[in-house]
Amino acid sequence: MEALIRDAVPTDLDALEELEKECFSLPWTREQLQSELPDERHEFLTAELDGDVVGYVGMMCVLDEGYISNVAVSPRFRRQGIGRALVAEMLRRAEGRQLTFVTLEVRAHNDGAIALYSQAGFAPVGRRRNYYERPREDAILMTLFFNKEEKER
């Protein structure tokens, strides 16, 4: 069954909080999640299966730049293309907003996520030392440029 990718809405906040706890060692608060809900500066998508939110992706837009905050898929539903579908739809929306690039950070040892982002067109552009806590780990900064001239810089 294919997940329904849709805008997050306030009634999703309980499910989003649970996903945060399942997926991250330092989960975001309900207030932080609520501040990311769709508006003129934010895109926030959920993946829904049989009425349950099983994943999400958020992006903040500043001028012509996009910053993906989090990508989360419930461990029970990983490796089913849900993360790929979320990222693909977010990138479609980024192009619709005519963003120059989208960037994100990923744990240096998260090989699955790095592969997902690489397949989506992101490339490593830097490293942030000791960016993550619990456990302490570097972040790989990855960016996807939509503009051909930016890619060649």
Share the mean pLDDT of the chain: 92
pLDDT in tens, 43-64: 999 999 999 999 999 999 999 9
Phi and psi of 75, rounded to 5°? Answer: -55, -30
The model's confidence at residue 134, banded by pLDDT at 50, 70 and 90, is confident
Q: Does pLDDT of 151 surpass 60?
A: no
Write out the two tokens for 20. Answer: 């945060």
Mean pLDDT of 7-12: 96
CA distance 115 to 90: 17
Among left, alpha and beta (phi > 0; psi -120 to 50; other), residue 91 is alpha
Which pLDDT belongs to residue 148?
56
Paired with 105 in beta bridges are: 141
pLDDT in tens, 82-94: 999 999 999 999 9
C-alpha radius of gyration, the chain, whole number: 15
Q: Does pLDDT of 132 surpass 90?
A: no
Active site residue 131: no
Domain-by-domain residue ranges, the chain? 4-151
Residue 17 one-letter amino acid: E
pTM of the predicted structure, to 2 decimals: 0.90
Helix and strand totals (H; E) in the chain: 5, 7
Which pLDDT belongs to residue 131?
87
Mean pLDDT of 105-115: 93
Mean pLDDT of 128-138: 89
Question: E-assigned strands of the chain?
Answer: 4-7, 42-49, 52-62, 65-73, 101-107, 123-132, 137-145
CATH architecture of 4-151: 3-Layer(aba) Sandwich (3.40)
Catalytic residue among 40, 117, 137, 152: 117
Catalytic residue among 105, 133, 137, 152: 105
Q: Determine what percent of the chain is predicted with pLDDT higher than 70.
A: 95
Active site residue 133: no
